[in-house]
Amino acid sequence: MERTVALVGPSGAGKTSALRAIAGLVRPASGRIALDAETWFDASGRLWRAPEERRVGLVFQEYALFPHMTVRANVTFGGNARVDELLERFGISALARARPDQLSGGERQRVALARALARDPAVLLLDEPLAALDAHTRAAVRAELHELLHELALPTVVVTHDYEDAAALADQVGVLVDGRLRQLATPDELVARPADAFVASFTGANLLRGTARRDGGLTLVRLESGDEIYSADDVEGEVGVVVYPWEVVVGDEADGGSALNAIRGEVRSVTRIGNRVRVQLGPLTAELTEASVERLDLAPGRIAVATFKATGTRLVSL
């Protein structure tokens, strides 16, 4: 089964360089690039295929449409055999005579995708496909792009710095840092079993630091703040404590017991995002419903207690 792989990581991690190496726009110092039995680059065998010899469809971050060409001419530049079919497929037939500066961000993306597919590629490469879109358009285009990639069933590599985009678009996500792949797994696996502290924080987790030791059937962690919490993970020594915002409950008091961790602190911020509210409480961010925030009267300066289960508290290497 064909699949979409996303490469995520901070700026300068090497994500776009990897994409350009696959496309043949840069020559790596070592390694091998192949699609099935077709080798495009092999440093040991001194093999190099030029970009035009590779069956690649590349969509650049800013789409790189030719501003002086119409939509039809831009798509034809990729290949003229399927132009009408692709214009119809992407719903841009009515825009065939328009120029890029007359299009919305979502429309420009469709033109860029149509041009890439006009090459009849064997693999599709997308460089920050949603970065050029405004926040209002982004969610709708993300859903549309997910459906398209599923329909195309082409091997696809997506480069993005946004983990939410990667998780929504890809079957597998690779976290890249300083040119090295920290972890490659499904979005669910990255959240459930992050390989290290960087992967955990990049996927949106709260990350605390502390020292762990076994205490009966659980692991006791003394945090840098002095708070003590428990985890079901069997780890000792210096650790990163991973807790996701949706696993944190905020209340006036803790229920107590080692199965439920509690950290008391001051509410630092309350941020509403759609139908969810992100509350910064001490060192933790919690993701709550609007009803919960109103019921607890949460506002900056308020003292409250964040609780989370020991079974949902993951310990990772620093």
Tokens read off for 64:
């790189």
Neighbouring-strand partners of residue 243: 206
Q: What integer is the mean pLDDT of 273-289?
A: 92
Contacts of 228 (CB under 8 A, 6+ apart): 220, 221, 222
Please report the pLDDT score of residue 148 as a whole number: 87
* Residue-level pLDDT at 140: 83
- pLDDT for 205-245, tens place per residue? 999 999 999 998 899 999 999 999 999 999 999 999 999 99
Q: Which two tokens stand for residue 269?
A: 């911020």
Note whether 8 and 202 are within 8 A (CB): yes
Residue 273: pLDDT over 60: yes
**CB–CB of 156/148 below 8 Å?**
no
Looking at this protein, which amino acid is placed at residue 17? S
Q: Model confidence at 153, in pLDDT bands (50, 70, 90)?
A: confident
Domains of the chain, each with CATH number or no CATH: 4-192 (3.40.50.300), 205-316 (2.40.50.100)
Residue 256 pLDDT level (bands cut at 50, 70, 90): low
293 three-class SS:
helix
Report the SS3 class of residue 95.
Answer: helix
CA distances from 17 to 28, 70, 179 (A): 9, 30, 9
Q: Which residues of 36-52 are buried (b: 16+ CB within 10 A; e: fewer)?
A: eeeebbeeeeeeeeeee
68 Cβ neighbours under 8 A, 6+ residues apart:
99
Which residues have CB under 8 Å from 151's CB, separation 6+? none
CA-CA distance, 30 to 46, in Å (whole number)?
10
Distance from C-alpha of 80 to C-alpha of 71, rounded to nearest angstrom: 13
Q: Read out DSSP for 214-283?
A: EETTEEEEEETTS-EEEESS---EEEEEEE-GGG-EEESS---STTEEEEEEEEEEEEEETTEEEEEETT
Which tens digits make up the pLDDT trace of 42-83? Answer: 999 899 999 999 999 999 888 889 999 999 999 999 988 889
Residue type, 195: A
In the numeric block, which tokens belong to residue 156? 């696809």
What average pLDDT does the structure give for the chain? 91
* C-alpha torsion sign, points 293, 299, 301, 302: negative
How buried is 256 (Cβ within 10 angstroms: 0-12 exposed, 13-18 middle, 19+ buried)?
A: exposed
